[in-house]
Amino acid sequence: MRVPIRPVRGRWPTRIERFGPLRRFFRRDPLTILDENAHADAYRQAMDSIYVGNTIKVTGSARHRVPDQLLIDTVALEGARIVDLGASDGSTSVDLAERVDDFGEFVIADLHLTVTVVTVGRWHVLFDTDGECILVGSRRLSAWPELSRPVAALFAGVIRRGRERRAAEGREVVLLNPDTRRLIAADERISARVHDVFTVWGEPRPDVIKVANLLRRLYFCDDDLVRALHAVRDSLPEGGHLMVVDNPRIPGVVDPPPRAGIWQRDGDRLVEVARAGDPEIADLVELVGTAGVPK
């Protein structure tokens, strides 16, 4: 369950933080994403607490070793234009780009690539690109007003003042991990851009689109997932490849392996060419381009 207000770990007296029933409520500071000198791991961990739209920006490094290897073994990637779509802070993109090496172009894409932060007294108010307040944080507390009406009411004044000052005082923050930013600066083949999985990519089309932990039933209904899959299919050229990955959560299993499938565009259809495990939405990918399925 997402708790709508949390004390920040490490900022309270030890006796309070260690007090049994309260202990599990303390959470790492999500405002780490505002710190230009943050360590890559700390930055990545802060992504667990960034909820935007219907989704969470949770990610990790080295979490797609098996799917990435499957892609390398299945698809000729030399000179390929690769897109990691719904890439969050780009940690998984860094992993893949470093392993493939001889790709032609690599685009790290996400719909929510930036937030705007406004400081109101001791509070930092974060807005997404639609102007929705996604987080209110101070040194000691983090709150997610969209998760709870009482919390939204509690912070209504701070949010209103933040909104009023947004245009004049707002600072845009790009949500890319320090490792990702370093790689982009060092390799001109790699870039980042905003893209919505529900829209067609346009030209030049990617040869490979990886979508990991975005097209999931925990975020979208099946109709929307199929709609997104049609947009992704139309983003690929004939013969282009889609890889869908999900990291399942299985109660009682620590770090279960990710599940992945690779499909190749064949006209209106996506034809499976490889898989690892049982990818969550494989049944929906099979429906793409079949009669009676709305686009």
Ligand X SMILES: C[S@@+](CC[C@H](N)C(=O)[O-])C[C@H]1O[C@@H](n2cnc3c(N)ncnc32)[C@H](O)[C@@H]1O
Binding site for ligand X (CB under 6 A): 52-53, 55-60, 63, 85-88, 92, 110-112, 196-198, 212-214
Q: Which is nearer to ligand X, 38 or 158 (CB)?
A: 38
The residues facing 260 across adjacent strands are 245, 276
Q: Give the CA radius of gyration of the chain.
A: 20
Q: Which is nearer to ligand X, 85 or 184 (CB)?
A: 85
Q: Which is nearer to ligand X, 60 or 289 (CB)?
A: 60
Q: How far is the CB of 89 from ligand X (least distance, A)?
A: 8
Q: Which is nearer to ligand X, 123 or 144 (CB)?
A: 144
Q: How far is the CB of 50 from ligand X (least distance, A)?
A: 8
Q: Which is nearer to ligand X, 199 or 272 (CB)?
A: 199
Q: How far is the CB of 135 from ligand X (least distance, A)?
A: 14
Q: Exposed (0-12), middle (13-18) or buried (19+): which is 232, by Cβ within 10 Å?
A: buried
Q: Which is nearer to ligand X, 85 or 120 (CB)?
A: 85
Q: How far is the CB of 53 from ligand X (least distance, A)?
A: 5
Q: Which is nearer to ligand X, 22 or 218 (CB)?
A: 218
Q: How far is the CB of 91 from ligand X (least distance, A)?
A: 6
Q: How far is the CB of 21 from ligand X (least distance, A)?
A: 30
Q: Which is nearer to ligand X, 71 or 120 (CB)?
A: 71
DSSP for the chain, please give it: ---SEEEBTTSS-HHHHT-GGGGGG-B--GGGGG-TT--HHHHHHHGGG-EETTEE----SS--HHHHHHHHHHS--TT-EEEEET-TTSHHHHHHHHHH-S-SEEEEEES--EEEEEEETTEEEEE-TTS-EEEEE-SSEEE-GGG-HHHHHHTHHHHHHHHHHHHHH-EEEE---HHHHHHHHH-TTEEEEE--TTS---SSPPSEEEEESSS-TTTS-HHHHHHHHHHHHHHSPTT-EEEEEE----TT-SSPPPEEEEEEEETTEEEEEEEES--TTHHHHHHTT-TT---
Alpha carbon of 47 to those of 181, 193, 285: distances in Å? 15, 18, 28
Q: How far is the CB of 88 from ligand X (least distance, A)?
A: 3
Q: How far is the CB of 295 from ligand X (least distance, A)?
A: 17
